[in-house]
Amino acid sequence: MNNVTKEERAFPLAYSIVLYKEAVQVENLLRAIYRPHNYYCIHVDRSSNPLVISDIRAIVRCLPNVIVASRLVDVEWGKFSETEAELVCMRDLLQKYKDWKYFINLTGQEYPLKTNLQIVRILQSFKGANDIAGVRSREYEFRTKFVFVNFRPRQKKGPPPHNITVSKGSIHITASRGYVNFLLNDRRAQDFTNWVKDTRNPDETLFTSLNHNPHLKVPGSFAGTNIEKKPFISRHKLWRNVNPQSCHGKWLRSVCVFGPGDLRELTSTIKLFANKFEWGFKPLTLQCLSEWHFNRTRDEYQGLYYFSASRYKNMPQVVHRIT
C-alpha cells in the first residue's frame, strides 16, 4: 500500500523506540507504524548483544527518515538511564526534523491499536494537548523525598525547584512538539530534570510533573484540578495489582504479556498502543493483531472504513490544555 493521505502528510509524527533485544520484533513494529513523512529514532541499549545493534543499523540504512540515537545509554530499570535514553532521542528528533507535530515514545515490545490516519485524527482533535498520565498521592512521596543510591535512600532531599509539585505517572507519553521543546530547552525543566536524577524511578516523575504544574505554562500541559480523573489513551497496559484476572497471556514483572484471549479488548479499546508483547510467546497474538491492523489500514485507504475522532476532542486534557 503506497497510499498516504494528504491529511497524514500534513501532520507528521515523531517516534522513539527503545529496545534491548529482538530486532525482528522492532522490524514488525516499524512495518506497522512506518510512513515516509514521519520520523523515527531507535535507541538500542548499549549493553545489548552486538548482533542486535548491527541488525538495527542495517534496517536504518534502508530508511532515510529512521535514525539510530546519537548516543546509546546503558539502561537500568528504575534509574535515570531509562529517561536519559528517551531524552537522547527527543533531542535528536527535535534538532534534525523541523515539522513534526507530536512525539510518541515506544518500546520494542509494543504494537499500535490505531492506524496512522486514526492517530493523526485523534491528535488533530487534541489541538496541542499532551496525553500524559498523572496522580498525586502520599503513597508515592517516598520516591522523591530522599537521594537514592542503588534503590536505597541515603539522605533527605531538598524540595523540587521552581515550586514544582511532584506527581507520579508513566514513562509512556504522547506530547506536542512544544512540550518536547520546553522539556529540553527551558531552564526550569532542565533544573527539574537534574533534580529527579537521584530519585527513585525518575521516569515516572519527570514527564508527568512538568505536565501537571500549570504555573510553568508548559505547552499542551494540563490546567485542570483533578489530574486523576482524566483518561490516559497513549497505552493499553494491564497491571496485576489492579486486576489480576484480566490477563489472558502471562504476567511478567506484574505487567500482562498479551495472549490471543486479549485480542477482543485490544481491537476495541480507544487507546493508541498496547504494552506488551513478547516475540515467540503465543505468536498468534501478534500475527492476528498485525493482520487486523493491516486490514484496517487497507480499508481506510480504499474508502471502506471511516474513523471519527469526535469522542476524543472533549477529553479533559483537551478542554483544560494550556496553549
Instruction: Judge whether 98 lies within some domain.
Output: yes
Contact 198, 83 (CB under 8 A): no
Percent of the chain scored above 70 by pLDDT?
99
User: Is residue 292 assigned to a domain?
Assistant: no
- Region 157-181: mean pLDDT is 97
Task: Name the residue among 168, 239, 237, 161 with its Cα closest to residue 205.
Answer: 168
29-84: pLDDT as tens digits = 999 999 999 999 999 999 999 999 999 999 999 999 999 999 999 999 889 999 99
Q: Which residues span the domain enclosing 112? A: 6-235
Cβ-proximal residues to 307 (8 Å cutoff; 6+ apart), any chain: 115, 117, 118, 121, 300
What is the CATH number for 61? 3.90.550
Buried b (16+ CB within 10 A) or exposed e, 281-293: ebeebbeebbeeb
Single pTM value for the model:
0.96
Considering the domain boundaries, does residue 282 fall inside one? no
Task: Say how far apart CA 292 and CA 308 lie, in whole Å.
Answer: 18
Whether 119 maps to a domain, the answer reads yes
Residue 287 counted as domain residue: no
Q: How far apart are CA 244 and CA 67, in angstroms?
A: 39
Cα 19 to the center of its chain, rounded Å: 13
DSSP annotation of 284: H
Number of domains, the chain: 1
User: If you average pLDDT over residues 152-161, what whole number do you get?
Assistant: 92
Question: Can you spell out the DSSP letters for 172-192?
Answer: --EEEHHHHHHHHH-HHHHHH
Catalytic residue positions, numbered: 204
Confidence of residue 1 (pLDDT cuts 50, 70, 90): low
Spatial separation of the C-alpha atoms in residues 30 and 103, rounded to whole Å? 15
The DSSP string of 194-244 is: HHHTTSSSGGGTHHHHHHT-GGG--TT-B--S-GGGS---SEE--BTTT-T
Tell me whether residue 255 is in a domain: no
Q: Are 285 and 277 in contact (CB under 8 A)?
A: yes
The predicted-structure confidence for 280-322, as pLDDT tens digits, reads as follows 999 999 999 999 999 999 999 999 999 999 999 999 999 999 9
